[in-house]
Amino acid sequence: MAGGSTAGTQPVTPDVTHSAVSWLRGRVRPGSLTRMSRLLIVHHTPSPNLQAMFEATLAGATDPEIEDVEVVRRPALAATPADVLAADGYLLGTPANLGYMSGALKVFFDVVYYPCLDATKGRPFGLYVHGDNDTTGAVRGVEAIVKGLGWRKVAEHVLVAGPPGKEALEACRELGATVAANLA
C-alpha cells in the first residue's frame, strides 16, 4: 500500500518529485529544510591584477565563519537571468576600460536587466573595479544600472588603480565577506 505502513516496518514517507530534489540539492541547510542563501559573483577577469582581486573577494565570501551561504561564480558573459533570479545577493567585478565598465559586464546587464528588474529589487550587492589609472566612469556606469535594478549597496566599493597591494586585496576579502554575511 503506497504511502502507508505494514506491520513491523517504518511508515513510508511521501515521495518528493525529482525536480524538487534537484532544486533542493546544495541549497538546503544541513539538518533542515530551510533554503540556503545564494551569493552570485559575476566577474570579468582578463588580467592577473583582476584575478588576484577576484580570488581575494571569493576568499572573503567563502570564509568558513560565514554559514548557510552558497557562493556561485559566473564569468560575466556566462551569467544568465536564471542565475540572477536564483541569487539573493551579488558581487560584481570589472576592469575599467576606456572610462567604462568592461563590455562583458555591460553585456551581462543588458541580458539580465528586464527579466530581473522587478524580482531582484532590494537585493544587496558589492563591487570591485580595477583600472590602470582611473575607475570613475566604470563605477558611475555600474551604479546607474544597479540603481535602476533597485539593488542595495551593502559595502564600500573596492577601487584599485595599478597593481593591487596587500591592503587592496584585504579590502576585496572584506568586501566578499561583508556581502556574504548580509545573506547569512
Question: Which has the closest alpha carbon to 40: 81, 96, 98?
Answer: 81
Question: Three-class SS of residue 63?
Answer: coil
Span 16-27, mean pLDDT? Answer: 39
Q: Express each pLDDT in 28-66 by its tens digit.
A: 445 555 679 999 999 999 999 999 999 999 999 999 999
pLDDT at 34: 67
CA separation (Å) from 21 to 16, 18, 27?
Answer: 7, 5, 10
The yes-or-no verdict on residue 97 having pLDDT over 60 is yes
pLDDT at 101: 98
The yes-or-no verdict on residue 89 having pLDDT over 90 is yes
Average pLDDT across the chain, whole number: 87
pLDDT at 33: 54
Distance from chain centroid for Cα 156:
16
pLDDT at 35: 77
Domains and CATH numbers, the chain: 35-181 (3.40.50.360)
pLDDT at 6: 42
Note whether 183 and 61 are within 8 A (CB): no
pLDDT confidence band for 71 (50 / 70 / 90) = very high
The yes-or-no verdict on residue 25 having pLDDT over 80 is no
DSSP letters for 75-96 = ETTT--HHHHHH-SEEEEEEEE
**Cβ-Cβ contacts under 8 Å for 68 (sequence gap 6 or more):** 29, 34, 36, 37, 184
The yes-or-no verdict on residue 131 having pLDDT over 60 is yes
The yes-or-no verdict on residue 3 having pLDDT over 70 is no
- Round to whole Å and give the CA distance between 183 and 70: 10
Span 143-150, mean pLDDT? Answer: 98
pLDDT confidence band for 17 (50 / 70 / 90) = very low
pLDDT at 108: 98
